[in-house]
Amino acid sequence: MKRQLGNASLIVLGAAAIFAISACDTSVNVEMDKEEAAPTVADATAFVARAEETLARESEAAARTAWVNANFISYDTNWLAAKSSEKMTTLGVDLAQEASTYRDLDLPDDVARKIKLLRLGLTLPAPQGDTKATAELAQITTDLEASYGKGKYCPEGDGSLLQSYAREDGCLSLTELEAVITSSRNPGELLEAWEGWRTVSVPMAPKYARMVEIANAGAEGLGFADVGAMWRSNYDMEADAFAEDVDRLWGEVKPLYNALQCHVRAKLNETYGNDVVPLDQPIPAHLLGNMWAQQWGNIYDLVAPDTMASGYDLTALLNAKGYDAMDMVKTAETFFTSLGFDALPETFYERSLFLKPADRDVVCHASAWNLDDKDDIRIKMCIKVDAEDFQTVHHEIGHNIYQRAYSIQDPLFRGDPNDGFHEAIGDMIALSITPGYLQEIGLLETLPPEDADLGILLRQAMDKVAFLPFGLMVDKWRWQVFSGELTPADYNAGWWKLREEYQGVGAPDTRPVDAFDPGAKFHIPGNTPYMRYFLAHIFQFQFQKAACDLAGWEGPLHRCSIYGNEAVGEKFNEMMEMGASHTWQEALAAFTGKGEADATAIQSYFAPLKTWLDEQNADRSCGW
- Interface residues toward ligand X8Z, by CB under 6 A: 5-6, 294, 366-367, 392, 395, 533
Task: Name residues contacting Zn ion, limited to 1-60 (CB under 5 A).
Answer: 6
Contacted by 288, from ligand X8Z, Zn ion, none: CB < 5 to 8 Å by type? none
Annotated catalytic residue within 263, 286, 394, 523: 523
Spatial separation of the C-alpha atoms in residues 263 and 437, rounded to whole Å = 29
Query: Could you tell me the smallest distance in angstroms from the CB atom of residue 473 to ligand X8Z?
Result: 12
For residues 496 to 515, the per-residue mask of contacts with Zn ion, x marking binding by CB under 5 A and - elsewhere, is: --------------------
Contacted by 366, from Zn ion, ligand X8Z, none: CB < 5 to 8 Å by type? ligand X8Z
Alpha carbons within 13 angstroms on the beta-carbon side of residue 378 total 20
Provide the CA 611 distance to its chain's centre, in angstroms.
30
* DSSP string computed for 56-116: HHHHHHHHHHHHHHHHS--HHHHHHHHHHHHHHHHHHHHHHHHHHTTTTS---HHHHHHHH
Q: Which is nearer to Zn ion, 423 or 517 (CB)?
A: 423
Query: Could you tell me the smallest distance in angstroms from the CB atom of residue 426 to Zn ion?
Result: 7
Q: Which is nearer to ligand X8Z, 153 or 530 (CB)?
A: 530
Task: Tell me whether residue 396 is one of the annotated catalytic residues.
Answer: yes
Contacted by 401, from Zn ion, ligand X8Z, none: CB < 5 to 8 Å by type? none
Q: Which is nearer to Zn ion, 58 or 416 (CB)?
A: 416
Query: Could you tell me the smallest distance in angstroms from the CB atom of residue 400 to ligand X8Z?
Result: 12
Query: Could you tell me the smallest distance in angstroms from the CB atom of residue 522 to Zn ion?
Result: 11
Do the strands 172-173 and 152-153 form a parallel or antiparallel pair, or are they unpaired? antiparallel
Spatial separation of the C-alpha atoms in residues 118 and 168, rounded to whole Å = 49
Contacted by 434, from Zn ion, ligand X8Z, none: CB < 5 to 8 Å by type? none
Number of neighbouring beta carbons within 10 Å of residue 623: 9
- How many residues form the binding site for Zn ion (CB under 5 A)? 2
Contacted by 557, from ligand X8Z, Zn ion, none: CB < 5 to 8 Å by type? none
Contacted by 392, from ligand X8Z, Zn ion, none: CB < 5 to 8 Å by type? ligand X8Z
Which H or E element spans position 604?
helix 600-605
Region of 268 on the Ramachandran plot (φ > 0 left; ψ -120 to 50 alpha; else beta): alpha
Is residue 415 a contact residue for Zn ion (CB under 5 A)? no
Q: Which is nearer to ligand X8Z, 414 or 422 (CB)?
A: 422
| Collapsed DSSP state (helix, strand, coil) of residue 367 | strand
Is residue 127 a contact residue for Zn ion (CB under 5 A)? no
Annotated catalytic residue within 60, 192, 220, 396: 396
Which H or E element spans position 365?
none
The residue type found at 549 is D
Do the Cβ atoms of 291 and 201 come closer than 8 Å?
Answer: no
Spatial separation of the C-alpha atoms in residues 146 and 188, rounded to whole Å = 29
Task: Tell me whether residue 365 is one of the annotated catalytic residues.
Answer: no
Contacted by 367, from ligand X8Z, Zn ion, none: CB < 5 to 8 Å by type? ligand X8Z
Enumerate residues 6+ apart whose C-beta is below 8 A from 14. 4, 7, 117, 234, 415, 416, 417, 418, 419, 422, 580
Q: Which is nearer to ligand X8Z, 58 or 463 (CB)?
A: 463
Query: Could you tell me the smallest distance in angstroms from the CB atom of residue 519 to ligand X8Z?
Result: 14
Spatial separation of the C-alpha atoms in residues 54 and 51, rounded to whole Å = 5
Enumerate residues 6+ apart whose C-beta is below 8 A from 129. none
Q: Which is nearer to ligand X8Z, 77 or 392 (CB)?
A: 392
Segment contacting Zn ion (CB under 5 A): 164-172, 401-409, 421-429, 551-559?
421-429
Query: Could you tell me the smallest distance in angstroms from the CB atom of residue 536 to ligand X8Z?
Result: 8
Provide the CA 324 distance to its chain's centre, in angstroms.
25
Query: Could you tell me the smallest distance in angstroms from the CB atom of residue 5 to Zn ion?
Result: 5
For 4, which DSSP code?
Answer: B
Q: Which is nearer to ligand X8Z, 261 or 392 (CB)?
A: 392
Which H or E element spans position 523?
none
Active site residues: 396, 523
Q: Which residues bind Zn ion (CB under 5 A)?
A: 6, 423
